[in-house]
Chain A
Amino acid sequence: MGGILVIAEHLRGTLGAQTGEAIGLARDLKARIGGPLVVTVIAGDPARYHADLALEGVDEVLGVAAAEHFDPAVYEEAAFALALELKPRLVLLGHSVNGMGFGPALAVRLGGSLVSDAFGIEADGGRLLALRGGYGNKVLTKLDISAACVTTVMLRGGSAKPPSAGTAPLRLVSLDLQSAAARTAEHKDYVDPPPADVDITKAEFILSVGRGIQDEKNIERFRALAERLGATFGCSRPIADSGWLPKAHQVGLSGKVASNCKLYLALGISGAVQHLHGMKHVETIVAVNTDRNAPIYNVATYGAAIDLFALADALEKEFN
């Protein structure tokens, strides 16, 4: 009894990055919480993920054979069954699209606490506190999860480091998932985003605009500015949602990750987690936002709390 259960996530044969990070956090917490660190993977052929999941600190990898594609009903049912067996103190999964798809459903089955989009867990005297944002990440919120016998934690991407490889054994368990059948989500297909003439993932220098540019008519101006600066033109989701720019320009969780970027200029972007997901690793980030409390400043190297139009005026002059 006790310990931590991590639920792995995979898509089209590849483990999600957040699984390793969840294991990393679990490894760090293990000594405090006590009990084993067990990772489970629910898949068509769970064994193929064994090596990638048997990271340092993991005591056991549990493979549950089920349909290959994500189905919230199956994940919830399987994780619930395993939790009944393992009686973990913490159930950890990623705060990803799929995580959002089943984590909270699992949490209500288990009772206890739920912390979604958590980015850390700290012990404060006798208390165990989960950390998350609040009010658009303008505040830091601590939730006390000491009293609950089990807490489901959905971990924000990039909140911990995956440990190095370890040696945990694989145990295949067969579970009766029949009771999920009525609620099951039938898999149909995956559709990749259409090819586009911009590639955020390859760009070394990106100028991105967010809702701060206010108006579709300003798009052309900033596109021209990006061109003048020699930058690839990126944007936040609302800009793509409104159809002001094609989706391929969108940086972030549901867009593209700026994986090769060295310099990122964020104009009028508040810095929502999902946006940060696509760019916070960039070596040099320059953020321009009139709101000094905007979360973008938490990841930026340089910041300027000035009007982005005034800045654009001045930059246009600089790069004449």
Chain B
Amino acid sequence: MQTRELFSQFTPFAFGMFYLIAIAAMAAFVVGLARHILRYRRARPAGVPVDWWAGLRRMVDDVVTHRTLGRRDPYAGTAHRLIFFGFAILFVGTSTITLEYDIVEPLTGLTFWKGWFYLGFSLAMDIAGVMLVVGLVMMIARRAWFGLAKLDYVRRYRGDTAPLPRATAWKIEDWVFLVTLLLIALSGFLQEAVRLLIDRPPLSDLSPVGAALGRLLSGLGLDAEGAATVRGVNWWIHGILALSFVAGVAWTKGKHMVAAFGSLAVRDSRSVARLPEVAEDEPAGVTRMDDFSWRDLLHLDACTKCGRCHDVCPARNSNYPLSPRDLILDLRLLAQSGDGAADPHGVIAPETLWSCLSCGACAEICPVGIEQPVKIVKMRRALVDKGEMDPTLRGVLETVANVGNSFGEPARKRGAWTRELEFPVKDARKEPVEALWFVGDFASFDPRSQTISRLVARLFNAGSLDFGILFDGERTAGNDIRRVGEEGLFESLSAHNGAQMAQAKFDWIVTTDPHSLNTLRNEYGKAVQGRKVLHYTNVLADWLESGRLKVTRPLNKRVTYHDPCHLGRLNKEYDAPRRVLRAIGCELVEMPRSGDNSFCCGAGGGRIWTPDPPGVEKPSHSRMHEAAALGNIDIFVTCCPKDLTMFEDARKSSGHEADFLVADIAELVAEAVELRAIPANYLPELANRIAESLAEKVTARVVPELIQALTAQSGRVLAAAPAPVPAAEPEGATPKPVTLDAVPGEAGEWSVRTVTPAVLADYERPVKSGLRVLVAVKHVGKLGDEFRFRPDGLDVLPEDLDHQLNEFDETAIEAALQLVERLGEGEVVAVTIGPEAAEPSLRKALAKGAHRGVRVSPDAASPADPIAVAALLAGVALCEEADLVLTGVQSSDFANGATAAALGGILGWSHAAVVVEMQWDGKGRLDITRELEGGVRHGQSLSAPAVLSIQSGANVPRYATMRMIKDARSKPVAEAVVEELGPEATGRRVAAMDRPPVGQAAMLEGSAAEVAARIAAIVREKRGG
């Protein structure tokens, strides 16, 4: 039976040598593999759990179909397919020989590598060899002649013009890899050719390539002797190359051949759409390599540097300093150094991390299933935890933490967009609804998006959908907050929204906002409880197709459609919007980058809250150019509130204003179904609403004027003159004023009633062991642009106030923290005089680092009375035996600017107001600098204990991450009960509260352009005149 002899004409020494080398090579492979695995084992758990069964099936599917490789690059796909399958067959073939020769035959004496099996085997190996060679040559040609920028590893997006040294090494590695493989294949064929020349087996062993090569060689004059020499030498060349390759797999680029299988198998089917949580015992973010999960590390090793992610990344395309591939490669280098404690932030700059738009384009196209954005978010979490972020972003996070939305609007205004509707929108917390509409921030507050929200509401209404919203119960869903890396804030937002949803009865959720949709669908878990989360396009598509909404006026427009990243790529909703467009009679022209290859608008990943670095071309502009290049597009259609804002902006600023319109899909649908804005049957109610809002407006305008007029008429204003209108009583003509009838005190008895500290009941506090700094903080109320007065006219309606920690106090807290940090000892105690509702501000002070809190209920004192507040604070200062008390210069609500000096006066301590610098060793005198009028600085020194009011700008208050906020929940807050507060400390009361005298400004109305024209005229007149 036909077969061939292995090791023909080998001396025992050569034979032994070969086995030695082979075993060494295998050992190198195994050791390399083990090193990687040990490294993975030191890392953290996977986070999102691995679904092994589905993962393996998907992996096999991806590998067999080569789907992930052929996508959007058929050439590379074909080449890799040839290499992969060629290699795989050769590998299996070689293993079969080993199986027989080294295992089956020695153990059982049986052989199978002979006869027809042998011949078939030979043919298969021949074909596989050809596949491998062709694939490799294609790849070599691609590298050598295609001029693919992604393959030269030059970081042009950072302004580099030459590759970094490590990139040069990568390039060499790539070439060595390809050429080695090619040489293995070619030397294999050569070996076969000379063997056939010498052995001349029947049918040439069914090895057509080897046979042809043999004929060629003998035609070229290779005789039997020459062939024998070649056979001897080439055998070793082939063998050693092949074994070196095996040895190198785990140590070189070759490791992707193993890691990619693992990476594909363990990849999260919803990666990027859902992010791993931070477990209780885990650090907030990644600051050491072994803070990454084993899945992350496996991903790093799977990277083949192919650059598909680099190509599609909207950040990289816009010259932000980020390439997902380079990030992965840099992390991999560090990971492979084996030092688990190495800090990845040492190799990845913060601006790189902040560049990511979380659009998922990289993970989508990655052929080996790497989840790049997940690594980025994990590292961002560490930055956020340390407060290292752009001040704007930080401001937004603080705003969201304070009021629950990124617009800084009071929660009660969240549902305000519904007021202009002709029908009431149900409060889903109060009555059951079929669909709960989760509106989201943009759709609730952005004026342009509000018009879309109303339109969608009208469409829902026209389709008789029973829907409701959560009104002020809804907060930002938290999708982008989570992607920014503020995990704690996300947790608190999702918990809040979850609790609100738990109060509501509904069957499914709908939203116009893909970002909200994403997190609700993929990250809210129990709160959504398996209910469907639909996009409004899902609903509209069904309705338009079923006739629940009837198209009465097909649009006949040529449109293009932008897939929102969070809707398309992350949630695979590509069809519904296209079905809608088809149903309303639009001709859809796809942009080159559409569907899963859609190009981010630039707003994702929290980037909408971060200023762009200089020199970037906005992704949204690039998108506008892409759409314009389609030619003759009428409308650029979006279905995401952020997209609408980004692209309307970009259309103008990128010079395509004349080329097409940007519109939300709802606007098109409304036109096509001829949605009448105000159905006739709602008219009576609408009339009511208009009348109501009119009445409100009239009251707001007229009443203060009336009061003003009445007061003025009664002629009692003596000096009520807010400048620049001085108390204009013409000299001499003044009617002689009557002396006051009210007699102060008890019939003229003038007496001094010095204010004394309040006496507080003892409360729990640690024994004083070192320096103790008190910081007085206030939960201040802020009025928005709409507010009303209480019926008694003594204050505004409490519900019109939004409360937060007085911003001046933040500077004071920071000053106290910096002092104890500098001294290396001491305790910072935050004190507030306020009701239980003031606790959030106290907790915020604790979150920033104050060690504990004390709250005194102000039952006995008006918060508008700084003396009462000071007397209560004095009580605390005495109980605490404080060494220093800091306050903000003033509170932003009543701006008395009096607490510090009043407190100093009551305590008889030294004090100073408007301090911008403070130096103290904790023992001697304090050196301070006060900022006077005109920015003049006044240096003084004071004895301790002292009270200082700290001016804004004295420092930059630190950011309290949600984790710090959480930790603050377990810090102690004592409630001090007032036992005695002297009558002299209280009693100052507000007599009346009004709108201020109506301003004198003549309001310029009209569009921005009209106002600008007016202002321009004023400027020109003033400048010229």
Which residues of chain B are near A98, meaning CB under 8 Å? 913, 932
Partner of A109, one of B866, B905, B927, B1018: B905
Those of B971-1000 within 8 Å (CB) of chain A:
984, 987-997, 999-1000
Closest to B909 in A: A183
B169 at the interface (CB under 8 A from A): no
Supposing A138-B783, A185-B910 touch, asked if A205 and B870 sit within 8 A by C-beta, the answer is no
Docked complex Cα distance between A191 and B917 (Å): 13
Report whether B727 and A304 are in contact in the complex, using a CB–CB cutoff of 8 Å.
no
Report whether B864 and A299 are in contact in the complex, using a CB–CB cutoff of 8 Å.
no
Docked complex Cα distance between A144 and B987 (Å): 10
Supposing A147-B745, A149-B749 touch, asked if A124 and B716 sit within 8 A by C-beta, the answer is yes
Docked complex Cα distance between A102 and B943 (Å): 16
A111 at the interface (CB under 8 A from B): yes
Q: Closest Cβ of chain A: how far from B1008's Cβ, in Å?
A: 4
Closest to A194 in B: B935
- State which of B426-434, B625-633, B718-726 sits at the interface with chain A: B718-726
Interface size for B (C-beta < 8 A) is: 122
Report whether B996 and A139 are in contact in the complex, using a CB–CB cutoff of 8 Å.
yes
Docked complex Cα distance between A89 and B281 (Å): 65
A184 at the interface (CB under 8 A from B): yes
Q: Closest Cβ of chain A: how far from B834's Cβ, in Å?
A: 16
Closest to A244 in B: B391
Closest to A282 in B: B724
Closest to A319 in B: B1016
Docked complex Cα distance between A257 and B342 (Å): 54
Supposing A29-B719, A188-B941, A229-B1019 touch, asked if A303 and B1003 sit within 8 A by C-beta, the answer is yes
Partner of B940, one of A138, A160, A186, A280: A186
Report whether B893 and A135 are in contact in the complex, using a CB–CB cutoff of 8 Å.
yes
- State which of A41-49, A58-66, A170-178, A285-293 sits at the interface with chain B: A285-293
Which residues of chain B are near A216, meaning CB under 8 Å? 391-392, 611
Q: Mark A245-275, 1 if CB is under 8 A from B, else 0.
A: 0010010011111000011010000000100
Partner of B744, one of A72, A89, A131, A306: A89
Report whether A295 and B1012 are in contact in the complex, using a CB–CB cutoff of 8 Å.
no
Report whether B936 and A193 are in contact in the complex, using a CB–CB cutoff of 8 Å.
yes
Which residues of chain B are near A106, meaning CB under 8 Å? 905
Docked complex Cα distance between A304 and B719 (Å): 30
A25 at the interface (CB under 8 A from B): yes
Supposing A120-B720, A187-B940 touch, asked if A135 and B781 sit within 8 A by C-beta, the answer is yes
Docked complex Cα distance between A280 and B722 (Å): 11
Those of A303-320 within 8 Å (CB) of chain B:
303-307, 310-311, 313-315, 317-319
Report whether B870 and A108 are in contact in the complex, using a CB–CB cutoff of 8 Å.
yes
A23 at the interface (CB under 8 A from B): no
Report whether B1002 and A108 are in contact in the complex, using a CB–CB cutoff of 8 Å.
no
Docked complex Cα distance between A269 and B897 (Å): 21
Q: Mark A132-166, 1 if CB is under 8 A from B, else 0.
A: 01111111111110111110001000111100000
B904 at the interface (CB under 8 A from A): yes
Report whether B906 and A108 are in contact in the complex, using a CB–CB cutoff of 8 Å.
yes
Report whether B721 and A120 are in contact in the complex, using a CB–CB cutoff of 8 Å.
yes
Report whether A127 and B952 are in contact in the complex, using a CB–CB cutoff of 8 Å.
no
Q: Mark B832-868, 1 if CB is under 8 A from A, else 0.
A: 0000000000000000000000000000000010110
Q: Is the interface of A mostly helix, strand, loop or mixed?
A: mixed
Q: Mark B305-319, 1 if CB is under 8 A from A, else 0.
A: 000000000000000
Q: Closest Cβ of chain B: how far from A68's Cβ, in Å?
A: 13
Which residues of chain A are near B912, meaning CB under 8 Å? 72, 101, 185
Which residues of chain A are near B716, meaning CB under 8 Å? 122-125
Q: Mark B931-968, 1 if CB is under 8 A from A, else 0.
A: 11111111111110000010111001000000000000
Report whether B867 and A104 are in contact in the complex, using a CB–CB cutoff of 8 Å.
yes
B293 at the interface (CB under 8 A from A): no
Which residues of chain A are near B611, meaning CB under 8 Å? 215-217
Q: Closest Cβ of chain B: how far from A75's Cβ, in Å?
A: 10
Docked complex Cα distance between A257 and B251 (Å): 70
- State which of B147-155, B572-580, B732-740 sits at the interface with chain A: B732-740
B785 at the interface (CB under 8 A from A): yes
Which residues of chain B are near A182, meaning CB under 8 Å? 910, 943
Partner of A28, one of B729, B1019, B1022: B729
Supposing A185-B942, A301-B1002 touch, asked if A140 and B993 sit within 8 A by C-beta, the answer is yes
Report whether A141 and B993 are in contact in the complex, using a CB–CB cutoff of 8 Å.
yes
Supposing A111-B752, A215-B392, A297-B1001 touch, asked if A126 and B741 sit within 8 A by C-beta, the answer is yes
B748 at the interface (CB under 8 A from A): yes
Those of A78-132 within 8 Å (CB) of chain B:
83-84, 87, 89, 95-98, 100-114, 116-117, 119-129, 131
Docked complex Cα distance between A134 and B989 (Å): 13
Report whether A105 and B718 are in contact in the complex, using a CB–CB cutoff of 8 Å.
no
Report whether B913 and A100 are in contact in the complex, using a CB–CB cutoff of 8 Å.
yes
Report whether A31 and B737 are in contact in the complex, using a CB–CB cutoff of 8 Å.
yes
Report whether A122 and B752 are in contact in the complex, using a CB–CB cutoff of 8 Å.
no
Docked complex Cα distance between A108 and B925 (Å): 25
Docked complex Cα distance between A257 and B1009 (Å): 31
Which residues of chain B are near A291, meaning CB under 8 Å? 784-785
Q: Closest Cβ of chain B: how far from A232's Cβ, in Å?
A: 12
Report whether A123 and B740 are in contact in the complex, using a CB–CB cutoff of 8 Å.
yes
Supposing A31-B736, A108-B867, A185-B942 touch, asked if A72 and B933 sit within 8 A by C-beta, the answer is no
Q: Which of A96, A125, A304 has the most CB of B within 10 A?
A: A304
Which residues of chain A are near B1018, meaning CB under 8 Å? 263, 284, 286, 302
Which residues of chain A are near B726, meaning CB under 8 Å? 160-161
Which residues of chain B are near A133, meaning CB under 8 Å? 894-895, 996
Which residues of chain A are near B933, meaning CB under 8 Å? 11, 16, 96-97, 253-254
Which residues of chain B are near A110, meaning CB under 8 Å? 752-754
Docked complex Cα distance between A196 and B727 (Å): 38
Q: Closest Cβ of chain B: how far from A56's Cβ, in Å?
A: 10
Closest to B786 in A: A293
Report whether A108 and B754 are in contact in the complex, using a CB–CB cutoff of 8 Å.
yes
Which residues of chain A are near B904, meaning CB under 8 Å? 72, 105, 183
Partner of A293, one of B742, B785, B1005: B785
B898 at the interface (CB under 8 A from A): yes
A300 at the interface (CB under 8 A from B): yes
Closest to B708 in A: A140
A203 at the interface (CB under 8 A from B): no
B1011 at the interface (CB under 8 A from A): yes
Docked complex Cα distance between A299 and B997 (Å): 11
Report whether A122 and B1002 are in contact in the complex, using a CB–CB cutoff of 8 Å.
no
Which residues of chain A are near B956, meaning CB under 8 Å? 242
Report whether A191 and B782 are in contact in the complex, using a CB–CB cutoff of 8 Å.
no
B146 at the interface (CB under 8 A from A): no
Report whether A134 and B741 are in contact in the complex, using a CB–CB cutoff of 8 Å.
no
Which residues of chain B are near A185, meaning CB under 8 Å? 910, 912, 940-942
Which residues of chain A are near B736, meaning CB under 8 Å? 31
Docked complex Cα distance between A1 and B751 (Å): 11
Closest to A105 in B: B905
Q: Closest Cβ of chain A: how far from B620's Cβ, in Å?
A: 16
Which residues of chain A are near B796, meaning CB under 8 Å? 135, 139
Supposing A97-B913, A104-B901 touch, asked if A310 and B949 sit within 8 A by C-beta, the answer is no
Which residues of chain A are near B934, meaning CB under 8 Å? 193, 254-257
Known pairs A256-B935, A317-B1012. 5 more at Cβ < 8 A?
A104-B901, A111-B755, A183-B942, A185-B910, A290-B785
A-B contact pairs, 19 of them (CB 8 A): A97-B930, A101-B911, A104-B870, A108-B754, A108-B870, A111-B751, A143-B991, A159-B719, A193-B934, A216-B391, A250-B935, A255-B935, A263-B1018, A293-B785, A300-B1001, A301-B1002, A302-B1003, A307-B1008, A313-B1008
Q: A residues bordering B, Cβ < 8 Å?
A: 1-2, 11, 16, 25, 28-29, 31-34, 70-73, 76, 83-84, 87, 89, 95-98, 100-114, 116-117, 119-129, 131, 133-144, 146-150, 154, 158-161, 182-193, 205, 214-217, 229-231, 237-238, 240-242, 247, 250, 253-257, 262-263, 265, 273, 280-281, 284-288, 290-293, 295, 297-307, 310-311, 313-315, 317-319
A-B pairs, top 5 by smallest CB distance, nearest first, are A105-B905, A111-B753, A241-B953, A314-B1012, A149-B745
